[in-house]
């Protein structure tokens, strides 16, 4: 926000919030510093961030003063725009954080050197905002309480800055955890819930302004437990409100079971942001798309059969039913969830239980007729008085097309994750995509600890103390940055203990393993496997499997035999829609979504999005209106070739 014209444009936002009794809104002010993806980026010193290609220019003293003025003017304009306050971003490794830490501040003037000098920038900013705004205008300062990088702040420095910020005029102090360049996960789904609330608790009593706990607090129960423990005065949430904008209303109404829980996947929010795409949410595709994706009540109710209760089928059936259609959902399995039932077995992905729980309530609330343990047939669907059929029948694993593929050593990832396959101590995982990584992590962490045929996860969610230990996080924050020093890691039990298994993760490509994994989470998975001793081998082709093991050919010309007990095939998937041809031949309007539509690079984000979008647009239309209907709707490309089938019988 740089001008009064900008402030006027923001009025539509603040007025909308203030239309609700008691609602307050603050605007975050952030300067990215050396994290900016721009050749003109600036920083305290000329040191390039390890996550950026561009090198910054060091700010001059005049530049620093101008930057302070920019923060203050932005806050004053925010007040003019109707905001009740601002949050000054002083954490996550952005510009203010860069001034505070020795890691990035090598200056010798009044803005560098001693800690008093290094913290001068945030103090001056808060003082300036306090002076330029009304006394009741809220100033939230987001304080980096745990940098998780070398040469970060010490705990004594953090306390000093918090106290100085309070004196300068801050109303609230919010918790920031980790720099973006830190090699420690802080918000991913593998991070235990409320894993960092103890950091906020350490600062309680050292300042008199309210303190806010953050990071992986995604249910009302977790939030209440943090408050009851005395570790914070308030709770901050962001992604959970993308997952369910009615989170607070549902909690207040005493119906937390109806909350669509954030699973911490980052796939549609942060991964999108850092790829210059609009932020949304895997479990709630309407997030950020509210003017495009609308679930309006239908004026022409249809009877719709949805075949397959995986992510795509669940999203489609519940959304269509909410719109007023009569929906029957079939699945041959005894439970809903589809591929989610495999994903939830992977250590660190236990949050998928929450999504299945949510949809189980949604199905009931929306009035979907659920027929589990029922294999839908052509006869059943054609004789059931349905107006349309949606095939969400998913995928089937692609077989390994080499000699010996039928050897007893060869098993599918499905059987491994379902714990119906016996896996030896020496394992080759064929395919290093998302499934291959999941299988490798599953085999590293207690894959044999739960009996086959149970619905329990392969291991309990990781305890906070174990998580801190695994990632060398110093709970006492006795070292700068809050990391246990490498020479002390073993003494503190922080060295990761690898699996007793010897695991090879193989791929045909020569490049980085898991290159297609999430932009913000792929490095975590690679790090976990590396710590666990998994050997990653690329640039191979598969010759054959025999009693000796898996025989490989290297692109460099060499030949290698991996003496393994088990070969787990994670070599992709193929679409499975066996009913499509016969239903279309019979004149039944038939749609395909999720893996049944396209198996390549399938993930739950696309599956749920497709299911919701089809359900939002499917209507009973006469054949002559199909062209008009298609032209009027902002459909994704995958849907254009399918909606023309509507009402052809």
pLDDT (tens digit per residue) in 459-508: 567 899 999 999 999 999 999 999 997 655 544 444 445 578 999 999 99
Asked if residue 39 and residue 154 are part of one domain, the reply reads: yes
Asked, for residue 355, whether it belongs to a domain, the answer is yes
* Confidence (pLDDT) at 493: 44
What's the pLDDT tens digit per position in 118-163?
999 999 999 999 999 999 999 999 999 999 999 999 999 999 999 9
What's the pLDDT tens digit per position in 151-170?
999 999 999 999 999 999 99
* Confidence (pLDDT) at 220: 98
Asked, for residue 354, whether it belongs to a domain, the answer is yes
Asked if residue 589 and residue 533 are part of one domain, the reply reads: no
Query: How is residue 483 written in tokens?
Result: 């990391």
Query: How is residue 149 written in tokens?
Result: 């990088």
346: containing domain: 303-397+574-643
Asked if residue 46 and residue 76 are part of one domain, the reply reads: yes
Residue 40 in this model has a pLDDT that exceeds 60: yes
Asked if residue 462 and residue 528 are part of one domain, the reply reads: yes
Q: What residues contact residue 625 under an 8 Å CB cut-off, 6+ apart?
A: none
Query: How is residue 75 written in tokens?
Result: 């806050």
Asked if residue 308 and residue 280 are part of one domain, the reply reads: no
CA distance 166 to 139: 10
Asked, for residue 377, whether it belongs to a domain, the answer is yes
Asked if residue 68 and residue 189 are part of one domain, the reply reads: yes
Residue 101 in this model has a pLDDT that exceeds 70: yes
Asked if residue 166 and residue 79 are part of one domain, the reply reads: yes
Give kind and range of the element (H or E) at residue 505: strand 502-506
Asked, for residue 610, whether it belongs to a domain, the answer is yes
Asked, for residue 648, whether it belongs to a domain, the answer is no
Lowest mean pLDDT among 8-17, 379-388, 526-535, 629-638: 629-638
Of the residues 541, 572, 603, the one at which a domain ends:
572
576 as an active site residue: the answer is no
Total number of domains constituting the chain: 4
Asked if residue 393 and residue 417 are part of one domain, the reply reads: no
CA distance 310 to 286: 19
CA distance 101 to 144: 10
* Confidence (pLDDT) at 500: 86
Asked, for residue 649, whether it belongs to a domain, the answer is no
* Confidence (pLDDT) at 556: 81
* Confidence (pLDDT) at 648: 35
CA distance 503 to 550: 13
- What is the rounded average pLDDT of the residues 364-383? 98
* Confidence (pLDDT) at 450: 45
Asked if residue 54 and residue 186 are part of one domain, the reply reads: yes
What mean pLDDT, rounded, does the chain reach? 92
CA distance 78 to 11: 10
Asked if residue 351 and residue 284 are part of one domain, the reply reads: no
What is 431-455 written as a DSSP string? --SHHHHHHHHHHHS-TTSS-TT--
Of the residues 551, 572, 593, the one at which a domain ends:
572
* Confidence (pLDDT) at 189: 96
Query: How is residue 480 written in tokens?
Result: 């700068």
Asked if residue 281 and residue 196 are part of one domain, the reply reads: no
Residue 371 in this model has a pLDDT that exceeds 90: yes
Residue entry with tokens 């809220």: 138
In the three-class reduction of DSSP (H, G, I as helix; E, B as strand; rest coil), residue 207 is classed as strand
Asked, for residue 404, whether it belongs to a domain, the answer is no
Asked if residue 58 and residue 146 are part of one domain, the reply reads: yes
Residue 451 in this model has a pLDDT that exceeds 60: no
* Confidence (pLDDT) at 487: 54
Positive or negative torsion for Cα 601, 436, 338, 359: negative
Asked, for residue 405, whether it belongs to a domain, the answer is no
Set 35, 83, 94, 353: catalytic member: 94
Which CATH number belongs to the domain containing residue 52 in this structure?
Answer: 3.20.20.70
- Going by the DSSP 8-state scheme, the letter that residue 403 receives in this structure is B
Which is nearest to 627 in space by CA: 609, 604, 645? Answer: 645
CA 76 to chain centre: 34
């Amino acid at each position: 926000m740089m001008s009064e014209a900008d402030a006027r444009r923001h009025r539509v936002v603040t007025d909308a919030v203030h239309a609700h009794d008691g609602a307050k809104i603050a605007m975050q002010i952030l300067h990215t510093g050396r994290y900016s993806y721009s050749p003109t980026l600036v920083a305290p010193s000329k040191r390039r961030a390890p996550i950026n290609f561009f090198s910054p220019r060091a700010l001059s003293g005049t530049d620093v003063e101008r930057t302070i003025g920019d923060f203050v003017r932005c806050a004053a304009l925010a007040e003019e725009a109707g905001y009740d306050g601002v949050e000054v971003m002083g954490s996550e490794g952005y510009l203010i954080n860069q001034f505070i830490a020795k890691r990035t501040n090598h200056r010798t003037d009044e803005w560098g050197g001693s800690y008093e000098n290094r913290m001068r920038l945030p103090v001056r900013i808060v003082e300036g905002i306090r002076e330029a705004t009304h006394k009741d205008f809220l100033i939230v300062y987001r304080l980096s309480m745990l940098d998780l990088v070398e040469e970060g702040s010490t705990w004594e420095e953090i306390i000093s800055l918090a106290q100085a910020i309070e004196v300068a005029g801050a109303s609230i102090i919010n918790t920031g955890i980790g720099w973006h360049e830190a090699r420690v996960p802080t918000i991913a789904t593998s991070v235990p819930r409320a894993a960092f609330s103890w950091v906020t608790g350490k600062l309680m009593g050292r300042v008199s302004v309210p303190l806010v706990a953050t990071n992986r607090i995604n249910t009302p129960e977790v939030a209440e437990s943090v408050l009851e423990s005395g570790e914070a005065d308030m709770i901050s949430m962001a992604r959970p409100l993308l997952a369910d904008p009615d989170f607070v209303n549902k909690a207040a109404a005493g119906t937390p079971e109806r909350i669509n829980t954030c699973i911490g996947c980052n796939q549609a929010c942060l991964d999108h942001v850092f790829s210059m795409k609009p932020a949304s949410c895997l479990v709630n595709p309407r997030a950020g798309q509210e003017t495009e994706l609308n679930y309006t009540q239908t004026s022409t109710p249809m009877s719709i059969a949805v075949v397959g209760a995986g992510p795509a089928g669940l999203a489609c059936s519940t959304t269509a039913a909410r719109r007023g259609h009569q929906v029957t959902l079939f699945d041959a399995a005894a439970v809903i969830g589809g591929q989610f039932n495999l994903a939830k077995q992977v250590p660190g992905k236990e949050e998928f239980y929450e999504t299945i729980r949510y949809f189980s309530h949604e199905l009931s609330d929306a009035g979907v007729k659920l027929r589990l343990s029922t294999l839908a047939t052509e006869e059943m669907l054609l004789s059931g008085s349905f107006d349309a059929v949606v095939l969400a029948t998913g995928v089937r694993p692609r077989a390994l097309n080499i000699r010996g593929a039928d050897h007893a050593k060869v098993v599918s990832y499905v059987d491994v994750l379902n714990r119906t396959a016996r896996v030896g101590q020496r394992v080759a995982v064929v395919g290093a995509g998302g499934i291959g990584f999941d299988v490798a992590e599953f085999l590293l962490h207690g894959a044999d600890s739960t009996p086959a045929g149970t619905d329990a996860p392969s291991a309990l969610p990781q305890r906070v103390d174990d998580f801190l230990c695994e990632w060398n996080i110093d709970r006492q924050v006795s070292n700068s940055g809050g990391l246990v020093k490498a020479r002390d890691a073993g003494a503190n039990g922080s060295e990761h203990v690898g699996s007793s298994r010897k695991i090879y993760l193989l791929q045909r490509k020569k490049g980085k393993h898991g290159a297609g994994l999430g932009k913000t989470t792929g490095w975590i998975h690679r790090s976990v496997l590396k710590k666990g001793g998994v050997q990653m081998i690329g640039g191979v082709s598969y010759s054959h499997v025999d009693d000796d093991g898996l025989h490989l050919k290297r692109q460099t010309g060499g030949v290698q035999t991996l003496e393994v007990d088990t070969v787990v095939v994670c070599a992709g998937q193929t679409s499975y829609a066996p009913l499509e041809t016969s239903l279309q031949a019979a004149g039944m309007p038939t749609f395909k979504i999720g893996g049944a539509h396209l198996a390549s690079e399938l993930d739950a984000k696309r599956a749920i999005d497709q299911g919701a979008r089809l359900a939002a647009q499917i209507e009973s239309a006469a054949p002559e209106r199909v062209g008009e209907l298609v032209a009027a709707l902002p459909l994704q490309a995958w849907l254009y070739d399918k909606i023309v089938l509507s009402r052809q019988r």
